[in-house]
Each structure stands twice: as structure tokens, then as C-alpha cells.
Chain A
Amino acid sequence: MADLLLELFSEEIPARMQAGAARDLERLVVGALTDRGLLFEAAKAFYGPRRLTLVINGLPIRQPDVSEELKGPKVDAPAAAIEGFLKKSGLTREQLTVQETPKGKVYLAVIKRDGRPTADVLSEVLPECMAKLPWPKSMRWPQKSNQPVRWVRPLHSILCTLDGEIVPFTFAGIGSSNRTRGHRFLSSGFITASRFEDYARKLREAHVVLDAEERKAIIFEGVKSAAFVHGLEMIPDEGLLDEVAGLNEWPVVLIGAIEDQFMDVPAEILQTSMRTHQKYFSLRDPKTGKFANRFAVVANMVAEDGGKTIVAGNERVLRARLSDAKFFWDQDRKTKLEDRVAALGGIVFHAKLGTQLERVERIEALAGEIAEKIGADMKKAKRAARLAKADLTTGVVGEFPELQGVMGRYYALNDGEDAEVADAVRDHYKPQGPNDRVPSDKVAIAVALADKFDIISTFFAVDERPTGSGDPFALRRAALGIIRILLDNRISLLLQPLIAFGRRSLRRSSATAALKYRDEAVPYVLEEGDTSFKKFEILWLNKWGPIGDRLPTHEEILEAVLFAIPDTEPVIFVSVRNVSEDGFAPIYEVPGRLVADETQRSSVLVLSKDDTIAFFADRLKVALREKGTRHDLIDAVFSLGNEDDLVRLVARVEALQVFLKSDDGANLLVGYKRAANILKIEEKKDDQRFDEPVSLLLCTEPAEEALANALYNALPIINDAIDKENFAAAMREMSALRAPVDAFFDKVKVNADDKAVRANRLNLLGSLRATLHQVADFSKIEG
């Protein structure tokens, strides 16, 4: 058994790429070895600023020998065939064996292949693996090789040994060796190492901690204990810890001071500035939680003066940084948030969706609607929505976009806004991720929901959906946010009207935009250079038909936009038709997006079909999967089409899940599937649906009549229970159907000879189907 040690030593690798590269290296090498029959005991990859290291323990020193059997022609086959087989197998006739088969005697070639030494295989596959390593960004540099390769930064040396011996190969013009280097400043010359233990020890002596996890622990403990000395504690920051561990080979924690003049700047600004620009850890008082006037910086250096110069330098840089931040903070407070709202009209939110101001106006209106529905203070909700995006025009948020909302709250309080309004300004972005807090104050909930419903409904309306590969506008996160807000706060709200609201606002604002430019030349511009359009007709779906071969008036357009189409239809609110001289010409539908000319003068908008509800269903499945909720049950309830109150929907799904786990539930599902199958076949045969009322007079069998009665009795009770949102009771009632259904299938032949009896029995099954569908679409349930 032998151990492989591989180290790729380069110039500084970006911190964010190191862990991924180590994983990829391990995956590629392990894959290549396994493919070649080289199995091993353990593999581990390490990473740091200047090196990727891979250790594979317990490799065999040779590949296993393999023997392969090759079936040949019959013994009495023509000579040419046998010659061909010899050629193919590389054996002589004497080396062939003869095998008895049902077809007679045939030749068999047993080809033995000796396994190659592992070192040879490694020499071959390692350069291939390195060439395949997928860096997010890679570069060329001058190489002593005819076939230059790409790497993240120039590669300087390759250490590669197997069982202590160098594995010879060349990559990027660099020959492998057993040498490497230590810390850039705290060591000099080369280190020679052939085995991992030796390598790790010598690196440590040369001031390199190989394992990023160990570096993280050193930093974490170091910051903790250095803070403790000052009576402080570290504000945990996992992401920063990862990054800093990628910037150091020999982390040394130092503590610096923040000048008092900055301490009345909000802590979030100080922390973000220190984190983003300087990679400093922030500290706080463990008793009060108050942000401390000290920071922790992690140097990659044991300086001769104990770090005094380094701390002084860092304090100096921080002073300049915080002066900038303080300047913005002071400047920003000179203008009220309210007075910043108008400036949002100059910021494009999205080319198809207009400015931030238009967005704010939509959110404001929607927040008012929602506030009314959930019993929040409507005035406050609208006020908070109005101010929600105003901080985007401030200096601090310009510098640190991640402080949006947080700064809005500070400025709102500074302006003397209501505290609840200020909190809602901050919280309307929440929850930002699975670990973020969900707003619980009603005003904040109203604005947070309005913001999210607006973004989802409008982006869907202009056909900017998330795709498999990307979700640039974070619509999935918004949908999950809505789901969490509704479920965590147990708020009953119908989704569809809120989605419709966003679409309606969008149409209203684009119509208004069109009206605003009424005196400009052409109100509508088509995208594809349609110079042939001399005359226009306007058509809209609820007033189908041309209005005449003239340019439509703005009032007509506005009417079309505002009152055109039910929201769930595929919405094409305006089509422009070319009336050519020879009479009829095809209808050109404007592409499904807002089209505006360079001066933003005119617009035509076609909203795409609303499939937002299906999107929510998908998100809900993701959200509930972790709780162990079955996705098919969510589909079954969603596809009824009448349930888009998430709280109720989840209660229904949960009741259904419990029901199906019961004996009665499982059996009833079997009965349902049987009924549905029979109906499917017979309905196809007869080309009709069996959903007529059942006639008791036509029931000839007791089991048949029993089922009819059971259904007749159950239906009102089930409906009543559902109306009262008592799903457990509805399920209980369905349980009672199990016995009559089982008895029916046991005793009754559905396809009776008498036509009327047969139809009645099929109607009876149809009635069972309809009854169960009151609760969920059972056909979507798996199993």
C-alpha cells in the first residue's frame, strides 16, 4: 500500500475559489484512479492562499492484473476467420482454449493484462486532471512549454510523491519534484518532503498551517481570546471567517482601536465598512451587546515589532474608511427620506418595468390593500411602502448596497417617522434567506408582502421568469419569503388577487406613461423595425375588432389597458394590425415585453400568461419538503384550482397526509384509483363524462345502493367540514366511504349488460370521484 502526496504551489489564489478547487482536484483525481482500477482507503484535499494539496492513502502500488475472455469462431470455422481472431486477440493458436457450447466447439482467447505500476498511471492522469480543473476564472502566463495550460494564477512548482518516490510528470512546463516553499516572508529556501506527515510538519516549521479548518479555528479562538482580554466578544461572521482563512497561511490576530469620533455612526455602517473593505472582525460588549470601539484584524505575519506597525497601519486605513462612511451618514441625514422619493423616478428599476418610483407606487397601493385584509394600520403601511426604497438614493447605501432597509430605518427615525413605519422600512426586505428573521409586525408584513408580490407578478408579467440556470431577480427567494411570512404568521390571504393586483398596476402605469406622451408623434413603437406600418388598428380581446384604420386615441388605449382582460387569461391587451392596401394583413402581436424607443417616449406592453400560481406551488413544495410533506399531495390540493390560501392549503395537505397513512385512507385511495381507471377507459369508449346524478331506482345490487347512499350522506358533511376548515373532520367522513367502496368493487360488476344500469354505475363512480375531489385531486397522488 502506498500514499500519494500532491501539492500544486502557485501565486495567490483568490480566497473564494480555494475550497472549490480543492474539492474539484480531489474529485478529478479520485475519479481517474477509480476508473483505472486503483482503489484506495482515504483521500483528503487541503487548500490555502498559495497551495492546493491532495493526499490519497492506501493505494496499491500496481493496478490489479485483469484477464479478459474473448469468444472466437467455431473450431471448424474457415481459416480466414480464425486468422482474424488471432490478430484481434494478439495470441497464437496454441494459446487459445477450446470451449464446449450448445452450438459446438468454439475458440476462446483469455487475454491477461498485467496491471501497470501506480506511479506510471499517476504520471499519466495527474496532468490530465490538472488541465481539467474548472477554475471560475483562469489565465495564461509565460510557460516553458509548447502546450501552454491555464491556471488561476501562475503555477510555480508541483510536489508529487508516491510512497516517498517522486512521480515524474510535467505540467505547464514544470517538472514534478519533492520540493516546495513555506511562508512567503517567514521562511526562506525550499522544503523537501516525500511523505505527508513530514510535509505537514515541515510546512508548519516554515510557518504554514496547511489545513484551512485549523486556520479557521486559530482565527476564531484568537479573536475570541483577544477580545476577551478587552472584556469583549466577537460578533460571529462565518462568511468572513472563511474568507480570512483563505487570505492567510499563518494567521496572527491583532486588535486595533476605532476612534471615538466614529462611535455615534450606526454600528451596521461601521461593521459593513470594516468587513467589506478591510476584512476586520467586529466586537461587542457581551453584557450590553453594544458595538465595541475595537476591531480584530488577522495578519499573515509575525512581525518583528510584535505587530505594532501593522496595527497602526490598519488603524490609519480604517480612519480614512470610516471618515468616508461618516461623511455619507452626515450628508444623508440632511435630506429627508420623503424628499428622496421623487428622485427614484430617475432610477430605472428594470427596462421593462419602469423606474423605482413607479415600483414604489405599485407597492404602496398594494401594501394598502394587504394592510386592509390583514388588519394592519393602512396609513402606516402605505407610508412605510412610500419610504421603503428611498434610501437607495443615499450615500451610505450607494457605498454599501447590503445596508438597504437598515439605513432606511435610521433615516426614517431621524426624520421623526413613526417607529412602526421605520421598522417596516427595514423589515420589508425580510426574510432574505432561510436563516433570516420573518417579519411579525403587521405593518412590516403588509409592506414585505407587497414588495414581494409586486416583484413576482410584474416580472412574470413581462416574461422574466427564473430558469433552471438562473434567477437574477431572486424571484424564488421572494416566493419563499411570501410563503414563510404567511405560514409563520398564520395569515390567510388569497394569492391570486394579489398577483392580479401587481399586473393591473403594471398595466395602469404603462397606460399612464403612454398618455403622458400624448402629444408626441407615435404612441407605439414596434420592435423589429416595422417601417411598413403606416396605419394602425387596435384590437383588444374584450372588444375584439378594429376601431378603424386610424391611430388609436390615448383614451382608447387606456381603456384597453385598464379594462381589457381577466387576469388569468393569456393577456394580449393590444395588437397592432397593419392595414395594407390589399385589405387584410396578418396581425402582428408586439413581442411580449415593454418596447420603448430611446427617448422612452412610447410603449406597448404585452403581458404574458399568468402562471405564477404554479410557480408558488413549486416553491411551496421546496419549502415543505424539509418538513417531510409529500410533494404529490401539494399538487393534489393545488390542482383543485380553488385553494390559494397557503395556510389553509397546508392544513389541508397535512390532514390529507395523515389520512393517507391510515388504513382507511390507503384503501380508499386504492378504491379511488380503481374507479378512476375504469372511468377513464369507459369515458373514452363512450366519449362522454359520467358525472350525471345517480338514480337509486337503477341500483340493482345492495352494495351499489349502499355506496350511493353513503355518498349522498357524506357529501354535505364533507363540504360543510371544508367550509369550516375542519379538514380532519372531512377526512373522517371520507373514511366512512372505505367500506361501501370496497363492498361495491367486491360485489358489483360495473359494466352491466343493461345499458342504463351500466351508465348509472359509472355515474356512481363519477360521483365518488367528484366527492373525493372536494378535498384534493386524488389522481395526482402517487402510490
Chain B
Amino acid sequence: MPKAKTFQDLILTLQNYWASKGCLILQPYDDNMGAGTFHPATTLRALGPRPWRAAFVQPSRRPKDGRYGENPNRLQHYYQYQVIMKPAPADIQDLYLDSLRAIGLDPMQHDIRFVEDDWESPTLGAWGLGWEVWCDGMEISQFTYFQQVGGFDCDPVCGEITYGLERLAMYIQDVEFVYDLKFNEDFRYGEVFHQAEKEFSAYNFEVADTDILFQHFKDAEKQCQELVSGNKKLALPAYDQCIKASHTFNLLDARGVISVTERAAYIARVRALAKACCEAWLETEQGRYTPRFG
């Protein structure tokens, strides 16, 4: 099997592979978020009885991880590839291993291991059991059976797989510095993103106006609460506000203006929003059970 030679080959191969397994190939969500699990196609669709299968790339923002473009593998903006399957198929581990074969990681040449690593997102009130997947000692994916989201049981349980695309590509391309990755045959990753890493690191750590951000947080929180109050039950617009609040909190955290004790309180506030959105979602047509072909 040929290796995915470039960064975009890797993405295209995964897209094709998971499409062939019946996944909807969705596009990235258009809000800043810290991980693919924040995409409503994961957070909200993990809940409720309806079957769901989706795969997508999600740009992930981790303001605190910015290193002004100087660190070999830390980025404040990177790509995750996320697969979510509900109910989790019995052979989901095999499906995953086949995806590795598809991108050119042959388990007969490598040492692939499933090492205990349970996932928890305090901001989403979510947790699951699973593993980090190791290839020759390197973590290349996170594999989780979701048990709860927003404090609600996932029933049926879904399986979720996250590939860290840059890290995986660095391994496949045998590159030590992320900016040296071939994005395609003509462009390097650095040409696409290095400027952004420098600028956003400065923004995240030094420049972002914290008064404005504090106000953003409050506004998003207020709007979110309003959208799920009374009989409105506008779960999806409300959840957008929850995502915004979460990212705003991450920015404030990167600016170093949130103390240790406040930190826990902010996380609890976002969790309360996520919980309210999930609750509202479970009341919607898509979140409730309605026969699929009826």
C-alpha cells in the first residue's frame, strides 16, 4: 500500500476510506473550537437514539499551545480528523486498523498498540473509556467509547476516533519539524501556516483585549441561556454560543488573566451551558427518537 505522501493526501485518503464505510463526510464547523469533539456532529449527535456516522476534518484552536512558530510540533491551530459512529460497530477497532493500512501504516511492519487512556472533557461534561493508539511508541490516535455527554448517558454508545493529522503526517513523511511537512507536492505546511502561528501566538498571549473577551464570554453565556429557556429549545444556535464561550475562556486562560480558582468556576459555567444545550437537543426532532424510515 502506498504511503500518503503529502498532508492533503493523508486527508483525502481518510475521507475516501471513511466514506466507503458509510460515514457522512462533513465539513469543518465554522466556529473556533478546541477539538473535533466540540463539533455538534459529535457532541450533540452522540446523544439520542438515532444512528449516526460521520467523519470530518476539524481545525482545532488551542490558544495556550502557541509557540510563535518556533516549536517543532506545538501549534495553536492544527487539524484533527474525527470519526464518529453510533452505535459503535462491533468491528470498529478493525475498521480503524484498516484506515491505518489505507494511509500506508502497515501493522505487519509496525508495532501498533492500544494503551489505556480514558477521555474526559470537563467543559462538555463528557467522558468515555478507550485508548491512545501507539505506532512504534508514538501516539497517533485517540479511540473512545463515549459514555456520557453533557451529563447524559449515550445510548446507544458511539465510538469516536480522533487522528492528530500533523503528528501522523510527520511520522509518515519522516519529518521532525511540523513546518517542513509537505502539504502537497509544491507547498510546505510552513508556507501555509507559519505566519498565522506567529501572529496568533502574539494575539493569544499578548494582544487580545481581555475586557472585550470577558464581555464576549458574558454575552455568549447570556445568549445561550436565553436560547434554551422557556419553550424556545433552540438547541443548535444555543450550542454555537456554548462553543464561543468555551473558546473565549481558552483565550482568557492563555492571556493569563484567570486564576486557578476562577478557572474551575469558568469551566463549570461552560459545562452548565453544554448541559443545557444537550438537554434541549434531546427534545428536538433529531435528538428524540423518531422512526427513521416511517
Contacts from A to B (Cβ < 8 Å): 11-12, 14-16, 49, 137-142, 152-154, 156, 184-185, 247, 278, 280, 297, 299-301, 303-305, 309-310, 312-314, 316-320, 323, 348, 598
Contact = CB atoms under 8 A, between A and B. Distances in A.
Contacts of B114: 11-12, 49
A300 B147 CA distance: 29
9 contacts: A15-B116, A137-B129, A142-B88, A247-B115, A301-B110, A301-B111, A303-B110, A309-B110, A314-B136
B46 to A, nearest CB: 13
Given A154-B90, A313-B110, A318-B137, 9 more contacts: A12-B116, A142-B157, A152-B129, A153-B145, A305-B109, A309-B110, A313-B138, A314-B111, A598-B261
B132 to A, nearest CB: 11
Given A141-B157, A156-B90, A323 B72 contact: yes
A300 B116 contact: no
B254 to A, nearest CB: 18
Q: What 7 pairs between A and B have smallest CB-CB spacing?
A: A313-B136, A14-B116, A142-B87, A12-B114, A299-B111, A314-B137, A317-B138
A12 B156 contact: no
Interface in B51-81: 72-73
B277 to A, nearest CB: 23
A11 B93 contact: yes
A313 B171 contact: yes
B118 interface: yes
B107 interface: yes
A323 B72 CA distance: 10
A763 B109 CA distance: 91
Nearest to B156: A142
Contacts of B155: 140
A51 B115 CA distance: 15
Interface string B15-49: 00000000000000000000000000000000000
Nearest to B155: A140
A548 to B, nearest CB: 36
B138 A304 contact: no
A312 B87 CA distance: 38
Interface residues of B, number: 35
Contacts of A16: 116
Contacts of B73: 320
B59 to A, nearest CB: 23
A318 B136 CA distance: 10
A714 B261 CA distance: 66
Nearest to A256: B137
Nearest to B91: A156
B111 A247 contact: no
B131 interface: yes
A276 to B, nearest CB: 12
Interface string B132-160: 00011110000001010000010111000
The residue in A297, A317, A318 that gathers the most chain B C-beta atoms within 10 A of its C-beta is A317
Given A139-B145, A139-B147, A153-B129, A297 B110 contact: no
B108 A185 contact: yes
Contacts of A300: 111, 113
Contacts of A318: 137
B212 interface: no
Contact of B131 (A12, A297, A299): A12
Contacts, number: 97
Interface of B: 72-73, 87-88, 90, 93, 107-116, 118, 128-129, 131, 135-138, 145, 147, 153, 155-157, 171, 174, 176, 260-261
Given A140-B155, A313-B171, A185 B109 contact: no
Contacts of A303: 108-111
Nearest to B167: A320
A2 to B, nearest CB: 32
Contacts of B107: 184-185, 301
A247 B147 CA distance: 24
B157 A309 contact: no
Contacts of B131: 12
Nearest to B115: A247
Contacts of A141: 88, 145, 157
A136 to B, nearest CB: 11
A182 to B, nearest CB: 14
Nearest to B118: A137
A139 B129 contact: yes
A304 B111 contact: no
Contacts of A49: 114
B147 A140 contact: yes
A304 B108 contact: yes
Contacts of A314: 111, 136-137
A255 to B, nearest CB: 14
Nearest to A156: B90
B87 to A, nearest CB: 4
Nearest to B174: A316
B263 to A, nearest CB: 13
Nearest to A14: B116
A215 to B, nearest CB: 14
A141 to B, nearest CB: 5
A377 B176 CA distance: 51
Contacts of B145: 139, 141, 153-154
B91 to A, nearest CB: 9
A49 B116 CA distance: 10
A137 B130 CA distance: 11
B85 to A, nearest CB: 10
A229 B111 CA distance: 23
A313 B107 CA distance: 13
Nearest to B86: A142
Contacts of B135: 313
A297 B118 contact: no
A15 B157 CA distance: 23
Contacts of A137: 118, 129
Given A140-B155, A142-B157, A278 B115 contact: no
Contacts of B261: 598
Nearest to B74: A324
A243 B111 CA distance: 17
A278 B145 CA distance: 24
A139 B157 contact: yes
Nearest to A277: B137
A316 B137 CA distance: 9
Nearest to A312: B136
Contacts of A153: 129, 145
B81 to A, nearest CB: 20
Given A139-B147, A278-B137, A320 B115 contact: no
A297 B137 contact: yes
B113 A317 contact: no
Nearest to A307: B111
A310 B147 contact: no
B116 A317 contact: no
A677 to B, nearest CB: 60
Nearest to B93: A11
A492 B131 CA distance: 53
A297 B135 CA distance: 13
A287 to B, nearest CB: 29
Contact of A317 (B108, B112, B115, B136): B136
A279 B192 CA distance: 36
Contact of B260 (A247, A313, A348): A348
Contacts of B109: 303-305, 309-310
A428 B28 CA distance: 53
Nearest to B158: A142
B110 A310 contact: yes
A247 B113 contact: yes
A313 B157 contact: no
Contacts of B111: 299-301, 303, 310, 313-314
B266 to A, nearest CB: 14
A598 B87 CA distance: 45
B2 to A, nearest CB: 16
A12 B156 CA distance: 21
Contacts of A598: 261
B221 to A, nearest CB: 20
